[in-house]
Amino acid sequence: MKNIIYGLIILLSSFTTNSQAQSIEQNAHKKVKHIYLTFDDGPLNGSRRINDAVLAEKLPIFVMLVGEHALARPKDVKLYKENKFIGVGNHSYSHANNRYKLYYSTPKGVLNDFIRNKDTLALDNKIGRLPGRNMWRIKGRSRNDVSSGIAAADLLAKNGFSLFGWDLEWAHDPHTGKPIGAAEDIFKEIEKKLNNDKTFTKSHIVLLSHDEMFRYQYEESELKKLIDLLKSKDGYKISQLKDYP
């Protein structure tokens, strides 16, 4: 009898220890803050520098490509697709021809534009971002910025597309493509958003930037600087967009 009781004590002790270890591991995972670096409108003049920066830093990013741009720069598309750190998604074939209200007035046309882009780029996923709209359709959750585009976003989601908006944009000059704000400024904004729970999903932040922002060496250096700042912060992890919860 004593041996049986002793065995039960050992078993219960082992179970408690394992449970505590699992609890500690789960709590540690919850404390991790995930950053998703995304780049729109490519491939353009910044594609090669983005590709080089990612290869140097060996951390994941996600690019949202436009079909019309891809046809003009097939070598850059190839670079992206062959880079194991880069995920490639759908930013429409036409980018709405920059006439957004007209584009979104025909939701079926938007769906066809995304399907055309998926086929043109031979994408193996249905991850996308609407041109000119910060709208989310992720695993049954949604958020809209303006009314124009809601019907199109809903139709895309109905057809299996996951649409990502963004929590923070690294803006750029629309005429020169030059980034507005240094890496340190963007890092501070990321910290503020995460600390104040001002993101679509708590502890997860999607940063939007644009391909044309990284055409020159100093701009590539700013991107590397931001990545280094994020890497140096305890509890931060740069994650791949396809793993977004």
**DSSP code per residue over 100-149:** HHHHHT-HHHHHHHHHHHHHHHT-SS-EE--TT---EEETTEEE-SSSTT
Would you say 176 and 211 are in contact if contact means Cβ atoms under 8 Å apart?
Answer: no
Beta partners for 128? 90, 163
The pLDDT, as a whole number, for residue 174 is 83
Nearest to 124 by CA among 91, 92, 88, 155: 88
Would you say 90 and 66 are in contact if contact means Cβ atoms under 8 Å apart?
Answer: no
Residue pLDDT, tens place only, 52-87: 999 999 999 999 999 999 999 999 999 999 999 999
CA dihedral 145, 151, 155, 157 (to 10 degrees): 20
Residue count (the chain): 245
Residues 91 and 209: their CA atoms lie apart, in Å, by 13
The pLDDT, as a whole number, for residue 176 is 87
Nearest to 207 by CA among 178, 244, 173: 244
Would you say 206 and 200 are in contact if contact means Cβ atoms under 8 Å apart?
Answer: yes
Q: 20 exposed, middle or buried (CB, 10 Å; 0-12, 13-18, 19+)?
A: exposed
Nearest to 121 by CA among 150, 90, 153: 90
How far, rounded to the nearest angstrom, does the alpha carbon of residue 18 sit from its chain's CA centroid? 35
Query: What is the mean pLDDT for each group of 10 consecutive residues in the chain (245 residues)?
Result: 52 51 48 97 96 95 98 97 98 97 98 98 97 97 98 98 98 90 97 98 98 93 96 97 97
Residue 119 neighbours by CB under 8 Å, 6+ apart: none
Q: What Rg, from alpha-carbon coordinates, does the chain have?
A: 22
Packing angle of the helix pair 74-82, 47-57 (nearest 10 deg)? 10
Residue appearing with tokens 């996923």: 125
Residue 26 neighbours by CB under 8 Å, 6+ apart: none
Q: Is 167 helix (H, G, I), strand (E, B) or coil?
A: coil
pTM, whole model, 2 decimals?
Answer: 0.87
| Residue 235, Ramachandran bin (φ over 0: left; ψ between -120 and 50: alpha; else beta) | left
Residue 52 neighbours by CB under 8 Å, 6+ apart: 220
